A and B are shown apart, each in its own frame.
Chain A
């Protein structure tokens, strides 16, 4: 810069060539343009709403929704409840299918990932073919396909497949006995919580002992014994306060028991096996990425194979596995919005579907839907960042 004769340039170009002012100018211009565009859009929205006589307000949330949602496992809901409550039901259903899907996809994905590492050629190839076929076909197709299979190939309730007289499989869903808690069940619950706390305390104590004296307790087994033993004891002492409500065919459908509706089942199964294919590849890559020398080194130190896995391989593999794994969880959660294709009542189908339709509030309902997913995603990514930091290499 200094070599250029400054006098030969105009004041303007001098300003432009100064890096700081230039970046300031560029950014101001960008900001002005973006804000202008946003302002224009907002102005257009106002004009357009005015033109057709709509107003922007969220008051409709407090009005009765007037429609029924049949699938709501935890929240009481009837057609007299408000749109807000309908939204809560939708949110619950989204969370439910996301959580169930994440659990199933992880189990299935890890299993398939390990099978892909197996030396068994046949199994290896079969899993490979399944993985490739599944993940190269759109998830919407999987959902529709599974739903179609459940609805068309399973028998109607009157000819339902009877599993030991307590559970029934039909094209209206899978019916299983529901637990009914009687007096005293609360005590058992409290004991369970107390046992878990006790187990955690024991684990902490055992760890301290190990650090101080090198003595190792079989922590897992003792914890399991504390939790299972105390709960079972409380259960027996309070007089087994648990009954089962068995589903029964009455009229058109099974009544009582717990029902897994075909819509939920289809969405859950399809999302799980579709996502598990991606998880399998992640798990496989993660384990392969830990160099073989690590295993040999820990054997040389005299660690037993399961301790090697637990203390050497997994911590390193997890560091590679977790970030892409969480982004798969995010994908699964977002893909659950495809529920609308088969009529599962999630957020998009309730507030962004029927409520939108009945009230005509496109703007407000879509803002709620987008906001819901954004918040969910932010929570999951925040968790991922926290976890990532906690397992990062501690470089010294």
Chain B
């Protein structure tokens, strides 16, 4: 009896004890852990994919590294937590990742009802279609009756339904869990067209043995502003992620690059000085070091550098800046001032 009662008291105490150990803020958790957990895609060339040595690389990964540079001072202190389109939000809300950098479209429902906190747009995208050239399809309007491969759990699924419905066309949806499997089915001819964000199409096509045999149709059927997301309820952490993104954009606008960031410490532009933490202590206001943005730019680079390195015209993905050019160049990338 003694043993049993002890065991029971122990178990109950343990259960209550666990309740008592409620977590601190995300920033403290990350700093205590010394590693930033980023939720990323399971593998999309150019955005997030492991290279031959098993190290994750890509556009989204670089933003994850930028966040780690700001928070921990070390851009390499990241862990990539992979998630499919379906599992990404549950993983984020379950606390398996600190921030989601995974070509995720900002929508009302996701923002308000899932719920998530979005922090601006790091890539302006739109949904497109890719088809084999020998099908002879020149426009999405000719796709009536086609079989369409689509990744499940994405906004593309909803756009597709709306697009075909509003144009009075029918189609067969072939629903697939991840990009690799979608590729397999598309290449085997299970579907005529593959639809996802235009950037994803370019990235997928780049990995085909015969990229020239496939054509990306001109229609863009949706707005897909892709951006980072965090959980509700931690405003300090939300601010950090928002301003990590803004810092990269401002740095490009002000001409601060990873190469010249040390020289820029002596710049005449007060905003650059505030950004780099030479003047004032913006970083201290949300619990980071004064040099947080300096670390981002030094270790990872500004927005333009990140873009060109991973998905720009000189990479196999070959995406032009387009909407993602700075506002001063006719694009949409625009950062609020550092002041």
Q: Give A residues with C-beta under 8 Å from B.
A: 16, 29, 33, 36-37, 40, 43-44, 51-54, 66-70, 78-80, 151-152, 156, 171-172, 250-253, 255, 262-263, 340-341, 343, 345, 349, 353-354, 356-360, 362
CB contact between A67 and one of B12, B89, B157 (< 8 Å): that residue: B157
The stretch among B56-64, B109-117, B271-279, B313-321 that forms the contact with chain A is: B109-117
Q: Is the pair A52, B157 in contact by a Cβ cutoff of 8 Å? A: no
Q: Cα distance A151–B115 when bound, in Å?
A: 38
A257 CB to closest chain B CB, in angstroms?
14
Contact residues, B227-242 vs A (CB, 8 A): 231-233
Check B213 for interface membership: any CB of A closer than 8 A. no
B190 interface neighbour in A67, A69, A78, A262, Cβ under 8 Å: A262
Instruction: Return chain B residues, CB-CB under 8 Å to A354.
Output: 86, 152-153, 157, 175
Which of B90, B144, B175, B185 is A349 in contact with, Cβ under 8 Å? B175
A362 x B90 contact (CB < 8 A): yes
- How many angstroms from the CA of A349 to the CA of B153 in the assembled complex? 10
Cβ of A360 and Cβ of B145 under 8 Å apart? no
B144 touches A172 (CB 8 A): no
Contact indicator A357/B85 (Cβ below 8 Å): yes
Q: Once the chains bind, are A250 and B145 in contact (CB under 8 Å)? A: yes
- What is the CB-to-nearest-CB distance from B175 to chain A, in angstroms, rounded to a whole number? 5
Residue in A closest to B112 when the chains form the complex, CB atoms? A53
Is A253 in contact with B172, judged by CB distance below 8 angstroms?
yes
Q: Which residues of A have CB within 8 Å of B1?
A: 16
Counting CB contacts under 8 A, is B11 at the interface? yes
Whether the pair B153, A171 counts as a contact (CB closer than 8 A) is no
A-B contact pairs, 17 of them (CB 8 A): A29-B4, A33-B12, A40-B15, A43-B19, A51-B233, A66-B162, A68-B161, A68-B164, A69-B173, A70-B173, A151-B190, A252-B146, A263-B174, A340-B177, A343-B174, A349-B152, A357-B152
Interface string of B168-179 (1 = CB under 8 A from A): 000111111100
Chain A residue contacts of B161, Cβ below 8 A: 66-68, 79
Could you say which residues of chain B place their CB within 8 Å of the CB of A358? Answer: 109, 153, 157-158
From A53, A152, A253, A353, B152 is in contact (CB under 8 Å) with A353
Question: A70-B171, A360-B110 provided; 12 other pairs, C-beta below 8 A?
Answer: A33-B11, A33-B12, A67-B161, A68-B161, A70-B172, A70-B173, A78-B165, A171-B188, A251-B145, A252-B147, A341-B177, A354-B153
How far, in Å, is A94 (CB) from chain B's closest CB?
15
Quick one: given A252-B146, A343-B152, A358-B158, are A33 and B8 in contact (CB under 8 Å)?
Answer: yes
Query: Which chain B residues border A156 with CB–CB below 8 Å?
Result: 189
Instruction: Return the CB mask of B111-155 against A: 1 if under 8 Å, else 0.
Output: 001110000000000000000000100000001111100001100
| CB contact under 8 A between A53 and B232, given known A79-B165, A357-B152 | yes
Contact B192 A252 (CB under 8 A): yes
The interface residues of chain B lying within 8 Å CB-to-CB of A343 are 152, 174-177
**B160 adjacent to chain A (CB < 8 Å):** yes
Q: A19 to chain B: closest CB distance in Å?
A: 14
Question: Contact at B153–A353, with CB atoms within 8 Å?
Answer: yes
Query: A360: which of B5, B115, B144, B158 is its contact (CB, 8 Å)?
Result: B115
Whether A52 touches B231, Cβ cut-off 8 Å, given contacts A354-B157, A358-B109, is yes
Nearest first, the 9 closest Cβ-Cβ pairs linking A and B are A360-B114, A357-B153, A79-B161, A252-B146, A251-B145, A156-B189, A343-B175, A70-B172, A68-B161
Beta-carbon contacts under 8 Å, B1-41 to A: 1, 4-5, 8, 11-12, 15-16, 19
